[in-house]
Amino acid sequence: MTARGGVVVVAGLLLGIAAPPAPAALAAECAAAQEQVVAEESWAQRRLAPSRTWALTEGAVPVAVVDTGISAVAPALADAVLPTPDLGGGPSDVDCSGHGTFLAGLIAARPRDDGPFAGVAPAARLLPVRVTDNPAEVDPVRLGAGIRAAVDAGARVVAVGLVTALDRPELRAAVAAAAEGDVVVVASAAVREAGTRAYPAALPGVVAVAPLGVAGPPSNTPLGADPVLAAPAEDVVGIAPSGAGHRRASAPELAVAYVAGAAALVRDRHPELRAPDVVARLLATADRPAGPSPHPRVGYGVVDPVAAVTTVLAPTGPVRELVADRLDVPRPPEPDGAPARRALWFAAVVLGAALVLGGGTGLVVLGQRRGRGSPTPRPGDAR
């Protein structure tokens, strides 16, 4: 690790930065604590501004993180980490790598008085599912078991921070079970090597997320699945497995956390929505790029938690045809025209009746006048 301005930069712990750490480095990371606090709000938090939704919802639903585990001793996740089944690799609430904890912090870190950092959904309850200690080594069968365990444990949203290039029936079956269980599954569309596929993001029903940098989507990150959304993934602020401080990191799969947090906000605010409707809402309210959608690098656009929570959508229709009216600025109520219309109809009826009655009376009077002016001739009158 290296330090820049007192802030630790995660270099070996996150995919897409450098080679994965050796076991000895992992052990050292387990013992390390981060106490340096980032005092300024990150560009990702300013870009998405999830705090604007917290008066309506803080995303109080179970969110699983299928990764390297989540550290239950991280101060920012105090009382947020729930017990989950052990898949045989040790307890899931321990995270030597720090990868899963970093994603969990982006999703649900609780606000603190010592800095502006907080997760997208700070009331989410986290279900840690540990399937590896090294995010660069992912067994697709074990990954499938982790997704299935998350669904069985009651997760409403599953954030998969790991990527495999291997398609396996067990992984497909787990994703299908999530869809059947009304669970939103979010995964990274990015891969290490161009020409390979990104699983589970490439599977039907999974929300495939592309990374976003300060200047836009990074052109040098290969994608192994067609993205439907994009989210920040470069120079983002997160937390360590221990200590009250923060880290900065860049990695394509970090984008998953922001979309998963937005999904948690929607599921909490709109509990009546099924998983496909939640996804449709996220896509319909995304900050869309110029040109046709979906875009090959960002899909339907950058996830927008505020719009996803506060937008009224048309009840039916394809995603690209949904009509959205923002509720950020309340509109004045439309005037009710029914009373005015009834008054006009009443006036028209009264006027019509008056014309009819007035016309009939005039005819009678005219007939009477004609009768008096031209008496009927009698027999014998001179002609």
Mean pLDDT along residues 316-345: 46
Shared domain for 165 and 301, answered yes or no, is yes
Query: Is the backbone peptide bond immediately before 200 cis, with ω within 30 degrees of 0?
Result: yes
- Residue matched to tokens 């803080």: 58
Mean pLDDT along residues 67-71: 95
Shared domain for 126 and 9, answered yes or no, is yes
Q: What is the pLDDT of residues 37-48, one digit of tens each?
A: 998 999 999 999
| Residue range of the domain that includes 346 | 341-366
Rounded to an integer, what distance in angstroms lies between the CA atom of residue 135 and that of residue 103?
Answer: 12
Shared domain for 352 and 304, answered yes or no, is no
With cut-offs at 50, 70 and 90, classify the pLDDT of residue 36: confident
Tally the domains of the chain: 2
Shared domain for 352 and 307, answered yes or no, is no
Which of 326, 356, 376 is the last residue in one of the domains? 326
Domain contains 373 = no
Domain contains 262 = yes
Least confident of 114-123, 204-213, 317-326: 317-326
Q: How many other C-beta atoms lie within 10 A of the C-beta of residue 366?
A: 10
Do the beta carbons of residue 104 and residue 150 sit within 8 Å? no
Shared domain for 161 and 267, answered yes or no, is yes
Shared domain for 108 and 214, answered yes or no, is yes
Say what the pLDDT of residue 4 is: 33
Shared domain for 248 and 354, answered yes or no, is no
Mean pLDDT along residues 352-375: 44
Shared domain for 356 and 221, answered yes or no, is no
Q: What is the pLDDT of residues 91-142, one digit of tens each?
A: 899 998 999 999 999 999 999 988 899 999 999 999 999 999 999 999 999 9
Least confident of 7-11, 277-281, 301-305: 7-11
Q: Pull the structure tokens for residue 60.
A: 């109080």
Say what the pLDDT of residue 24 is: 34
Shared domain for 220 and 347, answered yes or no, is no
Residue 232 has pLDDT above 60, yes or no: yes
Q: How many other C-beta atoms lie within 10 A of the C-beta of residue 173?
A: 13
Shared domain for 322 and 224, answered yes or no, is yes
Domain contains 378 = no
Say what the pLDDT of residue 365 is: 38
Residue 345 has pLDDT above 60, yes or no: no
Domain contains 8 = yes
Least confident of 28-32, 84-88, 233-237, 309-313: 28-32
Mean pLDDT along residues 358-376: 42
Rounded to an integer, what distance in angstroms lies between the CA atom of residue 65 and that of residue 49?
Answer: 22
Shared domain for 290 and 356, answered yes or no, is no
CATH number for the domain that contains residue 149: 3.40.50.200
Q: What is the pLDDT of residues 150-163, one digit of tens each?
A: 999 999 999 999 99
Domain contains 266 = yes
Domain contains 239 = yes
Say what the pLDDT of residue 364 is: 38
Say what the pLDDT of residue 344 is: 52
Do the beta carbons of residue 207 and residue 282 sit within 8 Å? yes
Q: How many CA atoms lie within 13 A of 177 on its CB side?
A: 19
Shared domain for 263 and 129, answered yes or no, is yes
Domain contains 381 = no
Domain contains 114 = yes
